[in-house]
Amino acid sequence: MSEEKDKKVYHERQMKRFEMLKDVYDIYFETNGQGKQVLIDKIDPQDVLVYKYLEDLELIECEQIINVEGSVNKYTITAKGINFIEEGRGRRRGDFQ
């Protein structure tokens, strides 16, 4: 890959991480802290990597639960994740380091 194409790919990945974190943040407050539930069998493998990355950074927590639809990962934003979003981070280059 060319350096320019690499930069574009990196930027797209950073934006995807921010968007997925923002989604968990929004759902957390819309559901009074219930978190985002994702069926394990239906999750995109690339999304799994993003959630794992956000979990490793301690921006979200993951709990596996069983509901009527099957096995579910429940993603909940942490205090660190809330601060990350509310401080406007995640949109700038290097925020996920």
The Cβ-side half-sphere exposure at 4, using a 13 Å CA radius, reads: 0
Packing angle, helices 45-56 and 3-30, rounded to 10:
80
Domains, the chain: 3-86 (1.10.10.10)
Packing angle, helices 79-86 and 3-30, rounded to 10:
110
The pLDDT value recorded for residue 58 is 96
Report yes or no: 38 and 54 within 8 Å, Cβ to Cβ: no
For each of the chain's 97 residues, which pLDDT tens digit applies?
588 888 899 989 999 999 999 999 999 999 999 999 999 888 899 999 999 999 999 999 999 999 888 899 999 999 999 999 998 876 555 555 4
